[in-house]
Structure 1
């Protein structure tokens, strides 16, 4: 599998949901998401985060500009054909992916995506068996109704259905929403491991800055329908004025670092985004 670069060139998009229309929910955005990167998308509610992701799998089409998914270019003129092509490359895990379940058995639910894109039934059955195991569920669940499962099992089945399509690009819209901290970490660890194994290009919308600190190698910050920052997490969390301006939180380790620096009147040698980094910096400074 070859990961894919995503390019947006001067993209403006409107949001339409029935009679409700929001013009220019995204405003002349240009950016590149590097092939193989794990990019977090942050910003306060209404900043355009989810709309940015929807552009990348054709749920939202540019009014102006163009979106390139690898070699596939989506514009307002060619949207119908290009969106269909792009969806074969892009897997999207929504906030509550279990709401996407619909088939009479878990196996049929997982097989639906691959078969919809032309994979033969026997091969789709084999894929379903592989991915159900990959998400940590027992193969005996394949014959059960997805609606008979626990909430956690439903979420893993829904993710298995996305992974079964072998996407080149994985788009995650708050995939840990509604889970307890342990369950959320398990989901995020699984998705991050899949990203690494398959060499995917992954985008994650999240309000949780610990997700950004733990998993992302790049972060995009949205504000008012525009991209106001794109760089590594260390640089973002070093700029306290910008964090405040854009209404963002800090990772727990960074909050603790700032408190320790203020109380001990020291400046540690690095921006600490994880507790392990903070422990190392404290040892280096002779404070632990």
Structure 2
């Protein structure tokens, strides 16, 4: 399912506080079944871009298209509800959203809200809890008795239970140790491929971009500074620095080696395995 923004401007409001044009005339298309990272320094508009996809933030002008559903500032209620059936959004610390007395009740809450029967929802809860790498027995436990990594998995299972066509994640690895983060990101990538999802995630970690994403959107001051393949995004180191971003570890090593050896390797390397292969190919390893 494709996402399209057509000259979208959006203001951000928290009570009486208003930040005008947190997004400024943004036009972009996120292709169906793509896996895209959204990056940028703090306040660039990354999370606001995600919130437009399920109506948590509404455009003040322009429109957001989620498949056949169009979200505008005028009369958005019906279109937002339809879009939310298609878009599963995982917040930065999704475990903070857990509220029910058991894991099962937390997971089935969304499906029940969208009209599924209790029996159907419980069957799906058993399926998704296994998909996130947890035992079915955990469904009867209180979510508040779980570890941080388990809570994250339960929260994501609740999103998967609604069977979204689009998966939107705001810093899915935030607060997790390296092992837990790798497990969560690998699971997300696997679901993306198995279910043919359109997936977008915000991250501050450029190695996550290099390892998991196919495309990248770079946000700057509420506008899109770049959209394209990950390899093209990290090709020009000076441009990346101007975006106030870091390079992935492998790309940093590549540029350091090229400078020390006075060579130019034949392609941009995004992972250490890619870099090792290229060094063998050119006879430097």
TM-score, length-normalised on structure 1?
A: 0.98
Provide the rounded CA distance (Å) in 1 between the counterparts of 2:46 and 2:234.
Answer: 19
1:180 to 177, 182, 197: 177
Provide the rounded CA distance (Å) in 2 between the counterparts of 1:144 and 1:216.
Answer: 34
In structure 2, the partner of 1:15 is 12
User: 1:78 deviation in Å?
Assistant: 2.5
Unaligned runs of 5+ in 1: none
User: 1:79 deviation in Å?
Assistant: 1.1
Provide the rounded CA distance (Å) in 2 between the counterparts of 1:286 and 1:270.
Answer: 15
1:204-247 per-residue CA deviation (whole Å, 9 max, x = no partner) reads 10110011111111100000000010000111111122101110
1:47 to 44, 49, 53: 44
RMSD, matched Cα? 0.6
2:223 to 226, 232, 236: 226
- Tell me if 1:120 matches 2:95: no
1:45-94 per-residue CA deviation (whole Å, 9 max, x = no partner) reads 00000000000111000000000000000000121111111101000111
- Give every structure 1 segment of 4 or more consecutive aligned residues whose post-TM-superposition deviation is greater than 3 Å: none
Provide the rounded CA distance (Å) in 1 between the counterparts of 2:14 and 2:165.
Answer: 28
1:170-222 per-residue CA deviation (whole Å, 9 max, x = no partner) reads 00100100111111000000011001010000001011001111111110000
Unaligned runs of 5+ in 2: none
In structure 2, the partner of 1:92 is 89
Please identify, of 236-245 and 10-19, the stretch whose mean Cα deviation from structure 2 is larger. Answer: 236-245
TM-score, length-normalised on structure 2?
A: 0.99
Provide the rounded CA distance (Å) in 2 between the counterparts of 1:234 and 1:152.
Answer: 31
- Tell me if 1:237 matches 2:237: no
Provide the rounded CA distance (Å) in 1 between the counterparts of 2:9 and 2:232.
Answer: 27
* Alignment size in residue pairs: 285
In structure 2, the partner of 1:110 is 107
1:37 to 3, 17, 34: 34
1:260 to 254, 257, 261: 257
- Tell me if 1:72 matches 2:91: no
- Tell me if 1:283 matches 2:269: no
Provide the rounded CA distance (Å) in 1 between the counterparts of 2:276 and 2:244.
Answer: 28
Q: What SS does the corresponding residue of 2:209 show, helix, strand or coil?
A: helix
Q: What SS does the corresponding residue of 1:84 show, helix, strand or coil?
A: helix
